[in-house]
Amino acid sequence: MKKSILCFIVLLVGVFTLSSCGKKKLYLLNWNEYLNGSLVTKFEKKYNCKIKTLYSESNEDMYSVISNSQYPVDIAIPSDYMIEKLYKEKLLNKIDFAKLSNYQADMFDEKLTDIRSTYFEDNESYAIPYFWGTISIMYNNRTAGIEQLIKDHGWGVFFDDTIIDKNNVKIGMYNNPRDTVAVAELYLGYSLNTTRESELTEVKNLLVKQGKTFNVKYAADDLKKWVTGGSNLDFAMVYSGDFFDQLYLIQDEGLDQYINIYVPEKTNLYFDGMVIPTTSKNTDLAYEFINFMLDTDNIVENVEYVGYCPCTKASIAALEEDEYYQEIIKTYPAFYPGNAINGGELYHDLGNDVYQKLQEIYNAAAAAK
């Protein structure tokens, strides 16, 4: 959890190992702050290699890197709908489970397994679950009355100026089309996978109105930091693990808790998975990485840094035996995505034509600010 110290150590390790040109390189395409640096060091030492991490702010960015073969990506950790898209476009290698000694077919949380069974056929053969979570509302308790409004109105606080002070409240939205559109769809009661022209038009009009009415900021990782800071944002849509990332930092610094999280009944439920793109040039090392990340001790160590919920039954059980995480799980239902299983909907791959429409909606919303 001591992220500032850990990042400094990782920086020093990175500087030291850059001179090791003769070592094998594993190209990892990942989200920022989504892998504990101590695990990077441990893996590099064990396999006498160097992890070259390429950071991305969106699934669409990941797709661009892989589909354009910009880099020899050995491992990527995209979200569910992007895994489906990469699979459809034959950009993923099928996983050889004989190379994964830590893998068992029944090792994952039952509720996660249930939702994966409704996903695209044979998805289990192309992706190994990494973390899972929900889209949630993170807010700063120092804003008077905001907690009750969020609990009473859910996604309505992003759009209804009769319940939110449009002049004084600052709102955060993710700077990518899929998540921005999702918040409007959740508020309007539409499927997160709708392709109906009339519904998407209504979504566009709502987001444009939001931009003209409210003080809205679009960002990625900065959203969680801005809500924690309080002066930049009062609340924002966030991936659930981002809240816990900030909570750990606050607790490490010995500060009183002044941020919280709420998951409306209807939300997006997602999982990210480790995949081996067809761009991989070091596939054997990619399998070693997946196997390494399936070790229960390594999963727990990763959770303690990243903040997201693990996917395996053994790692969840290990957290439940830890006094600190017993309290986290008890106090914050948002930590375990299975709590949102009935009201949660996965994103699906909607095809390039629909993605173009979502991009146009996002552009119009962002321009309305």
Residues (pLDDT < 70) of the chain are 1-21
Alpha-helical regions (H) of the chain: 3-17, 37-47, 59-67, 80-88, 110-117, 146-153, 177-188, 197-213, 222-229, 240-252, 283-293, 296-306, 313-320, 323-331, 352-367
Provide the terminal-to-terminal Cα distance of the chain, rounded to the nearest Å: 36
> In this structure, what token pair is assigned to residue 156?
């309505």
| pLDDT (0 to 100) of residue 336 | 96
| pLDDT (0 to 100) of residue 21 | 56
Residues of the chain within CATH 3.40.190.10 domain(s) are 3-132+271-330, 133-268+345-367
> In this structure, what token pair is assigned to residue 351?
């095809």
| pLDDT (0 to 100) of residue 7 | 42
CATH of 3-132+271-330, one of 3.40.190.10, 3.40.50.300, 3.30.540.10, 3.30.420.40: 3.40.190.10
Helices 283-293, 296-306: axis angle to 10 degrees equals: 80
Dihedral sign, Cα of residue 93, residue 315, residue 28, residue 99: negative
Alpha-carbon distance of 29 to 62, in angstroms, equals 7
> In this structure, what token pair is assigned to residue 222?
């900065």
20 in Cβ contact with 48 (< 8 Å):
no
User: Based on the number of CB atoms within 10 Å of its own CB, is 150 exposed (0-12), middle (13-18) or buried (19 or more)?
Assistant: buried
Q: What is the pTM of this model?
A: 0.91
| pLDDT (0 to 100) of residue 22 | 74
| pLDDT (0 to 100) of residue 255 | 81
Q: Max CA-CA distance within the chain?
A: 63
Q: Would you state the CATH architecture of domain 133-268+345-367?
A: 3-Layer(aba) Sandwich (3.40)
87 in Cβ contact with 126 (< 8 Å):
yes
Which has the closest alpha carbon to 184: 158, 163, 166? 158
> In this structure, what token pair is assigned to residue 148?
């009750």
